[in-house]
Chains A and B, each alone.
Chain A
Amino acid sequence: MSEAMLDYDEVIAKYEPTLGLEVHVELNTNSKMFCGCATVFGAEPNTQVCPVCLGMPGSLPFVNERAIESTILIGLALNCEIATWCRFARKNYFYPDMPKNFQISQYDEPICFNGYLDVEVETDDGMRTFRVEIERVHMEEDTGKSLHMGGATGRIHGADYSLLDYNRAGIPLVEIVTKMVPGTEKYAPLVAKAYVAELRDILRSLGVSDVKMEQGSLRCDANVSLSPRGSGVLGTRSETKNVNSLRSVERAIRSEMQRHAARLDDGLKVVQETRHFHEDSGITTSGRSKETAEDYRYFPEPDLVPIAPDPAWVEELRATLPERPSVVRARLQKEWNIADKEMASMVNAGVLAVVMETVALGADSTKARSWWVGEIARQANERGVEVIDVGVTPADVARIVELVAMGELTDKLARQVVDGVIAGEGRPDDVVATRGLKVVSDDGALLLAIATAIASDAAAAEKVRGGNLNAAGALIGLVMKATQGQADAAKVRELLLKELGQ
């Protein structure tokens, strides 16, 4: 069943990869692309639908201005040219989740084109910048969602019937397509991941999308092909869909490279096809192969008039662009006085933006960084979600750092607070209150615990009295145990030593 994979080092020894990435971003407009229906995620089925987004006979689309504005902003942030005149086009194909059986999209006249995005990847020789060229950024509309009923639950094959909810149909989508990216060598998976991460940071900084991969507001299709080293012949590419996390982007590309190489080594051809990535196994499987190439019969959408963005408007938008994330990074690295490696680890973990926000809320940068890169990243990893989606906000972290600084929490207690926040028990102060996690600083209670400890391990106490301070550890341990870890260890030590005449 599962296909042969070549060892990655061997892949690189024999082949050169070429990448291509298509990212779909749902914009966070209030209303849909072509009608006034709301776009709230998770609403009851078919409560955000109207004749337009249901494709009812007689209905006509009308364009959301903010969607155009957001798309131009994205184009500008990706160093694109902005079209002076362009049109929507109909992409014709039948699918039940697409109410009109055509998608309003753009074809040969995208609103933004010819851009690039520089991404940084940590290589054997330190940080290196790879330029990913952008072919086009265009607007389109999202489809509805189907539930497959009967048969194997939730799976399309073997389902008896399907249930359709069109709340998502017509939500504005922006498709960002790269040109082919050669020369990434063994870093191809990392470059792909860094590109998506950087793109996500940019989109977030623009405020145009929620960019939540697990909710599907950012979706990535990753293409890769291999050519025999030095041949100069571009290989056949496969397109992997369903890549729903940064980590999966990297894994999917790596897995496809290994699969392609194994086929090529065996003298087999790589089939140009759609592959599906499986988060659990980390491999891709073949999608339904299409007997004939799709013929989408694109033509200019007659129900919508051309878009000719006023150059003055474009310049106004350009002036509102936030600082580019790469510039922000360079500045922060200097401000926070950290090494390339530390910066890279933050970027890799996808936490830079939240660290920045945490610092902006008053937290010490080192503390903020260590929480996000350490404990929270670990918890996210355990749960298989992105750090920013684990349920902890920058405000939470800032508050936790503050509580520790005030001596109200120990590091150990603070980790329990993080657990509580992730478990949905509320904000840090709520968790402290409900779990009773306040540091025991009441000297009376501590002295009692210390007295009990001295009584129960008289030998250790004697050693300490005799000047062997190392022996204090055992006693401190007993006190901490007795207070269920809610005492400040430094304070216990201080009181204990005083008690024992040291």
Chain B
Amino acid sequence: MITQNASEMAAAVAAGEITSEALTQAHLSRIAEVDEKVHAFLHVDAEGALAQARAVDVARAKGEKLSPLAGVPLALKDVMVQKGVPTTCGSKILEGWRPPYDATVVTKLKNAGVVILGKTNMDEFAMGSSTENSAYGPTHNPWDLTRIPGGSGGGSSASLAAFEAPLAIGTDTGGSIRQPAAVTGTVGVKPTYGGVSRYGLVAFSSSLDQAGPCARTVLDAALLHEIIGGHDIYDSTSIDAPVPPVVTAAKMRNVKGLRIGVVRELGGEGYQAGVLQRFNESVEVLRGLGAEIIEVSCPHFEYALPAYYLIAPSECSSNLARFDAMRFGLRVGDDRARSAEEVMNLTREAGFGPEVKRRIILGTYALSSGYYDAYYGSAQKVRTLIINDFNAAFAQVDVLISPTSPTTAFKIGEKADDPLAMYLNDIATIPVNLAGNCAMSIPCGLAPEDGLPVGLQIIAPAMADDRLYRVGGALEAAFNEAWGGPLMNKAPSLTGGVR
């Protein structure tokens, strides 16, 4: 039952073949069984989830109209606030904090009858590409427990790959939905900036952060996208327009005549051979499906990574200033002799991990007087150049494709304390965050050299999120046919036996 797709589960609930309560209980049991190994969850809200599930069952019994994903469980990245449920962002500084309000995404999920199982592990404040930066210990990749599940949303992607949940919410500032999806063989979408409300998403880098759907299939992602997307007055940067027709697009399975651009700068040196091999095969599959393949150049993409590592730290240095021990969260060293300032300093020293401190200090530097123009100012200009590159590319093609991540999942600890090596994981995903358009990662096979999942990235212009689903849906169908079933069928069972 837990290996089904979310859309199948929803249909079973709607048809009365299974109750949401039983479905939820099955997932809670799976979590109890495997999460000790995977550590996808920071908090499991069994009671809350079952109560939500029963409410859906009652509504169904009354004959109320159910939303397309009603009764289906979901794993929520711990960066989203949920009223009364611990929200830590993977940080010690928020240990024990229970928010007094719901994020807009959470409100929409609740209204749609989606059952929230609990909060998933992440790199502290979403800063990282491996989930090793969580203050509560790393998450393990279900495909190989010695490897990372990607980051920052490694908990969400691992929960999908471990069949602990069929749906998850991630957030993507530089690739934190797409790269974890790539290395766990799942689907992840970074919607157009402003497409999903950020209200209640604990900010890392406000101008880059975007929440989005994670699932095991393209259609499931589309169904979830439709539920969480749309305008929100509480987020001034939210787009006041309908959600693009993503579900329809996911079902089209037709890319005939579509112009697909292969980005010359996203590939080649620095990319693992098996990743490139699976990517090139995918290009041929698309060509075989009738798409027109065109090579395009985005010459400023090489400046995306440096620009990102100025903009994101700068914004985070300001966004994370509120964690000061005064109104919520951790307080260290309040002995009634120390001043508020000293207590702030001690709390932030004790409460933040090394990567968060590194970025705060870097961002403080980039914004400080005398350096602003050279660093933050220049990075904002690079942003303009990248937007121009995308505009030029989208004048020629409908979507762009690239590998999602240069490598498959690496070993836990392998890149610890080598920030620059770690940052390179996001080289293909970051341009999209800087420009604010949308992208998806879908599995495109296992790398021959290590047998680990490889992700393919599809990029579309802003507010053309439906194109992602059109291409993703068609590719997924073609792959499943070629592979004789979804890639996830090849994932280890985690319980010793055959799943």
Contacts and interface: CB of A to CB of B under 8 A. Distances in A.
A and B touch in the complex (CB under 8 A): yes
Nearest to B106: A58
B336 A60 contact: no
A101 B368 contact: no
Contacts of B89: 57
A299 B367 CA distance: 7
Interface in B312-363: 314-315, 317-318, 321-324, 326-328, 336, 340-341, 344
A56 B328 CA distance: 8
B495 interface: no
A40 interface: no
A92 interface: yes
Given A59-B101, A302-B205, 19 more contacts: A50-B101, A57-B87, A57-B99, A57-B323, A58-B101, A58-B200, A58-B202, A60-B198, A60-B234, A90-B318, A92-B317, A94-B321, A94-B341, A96-B324, A96-B340, A164-B326, A298-B367, A299-B318, A305-B236
Contact of B318 (A58, A61, A297): A297
A99 interface: yes
Closest 7 CB pairs of A and B: A101-B321, A297-B367, A302-B206, A302-B207, A57-B202, A58-B200, A58-B81
Interface in A30-62: 50-51, 54-62
A59 B199 CA distance: 6
A299 B364 CA distance: 11
B184 to A, nearest CB: 26
Contacts of A298: 367
A57 B329 CA distance: 10
A99 B94 CA distance: 16
Most chain B Cβ neighbours within 10 Å, of A50, A302, A305: A302
Interface in B171-227: 198-203, 205-207
28 contacts: A50-B101, A51-B100, A56-B81, A56-B100, A56-B322, A57-B97, A57-B328, A58-B80, A58-B87, A58-B99, A58-B199, A58-B200, A58-B203, A59-B199, A59-B200, A60-B234, A60-B236, A62-B233, A90-B318, A92-B318, A94-B321, A100-B321, A100-B322, A295-B368, A299-B372, A303-B203, A303-B206, A305-B237
The size class of the interface chain B forms with chain A is 35 or more
Contacts of A116: none
A51 B367 contact: no
A83 interface: no
A55 B328 CA distance: 10
Q: Is the interface of B mostly helix, strand, loop or mixed?
A: loop
Contacts of B409: none
Interface residues of A, number: 32
Contacts of B94: 57
B234 A62 contact: yes
Interface string A308-327: 00000000000000000000
Interface string B398-427: 000000000000000000000000000000
A92 B81 contact: no
Contacts of A51: 99-101
A90 B322 CA distance: 13
Contact of A57 (B81, B314, B344, B367): B81
A99 B344 CA distance: 13
A101 B320 CA distance: 9
Contacts of A90: 318
Contacts of B364: 297
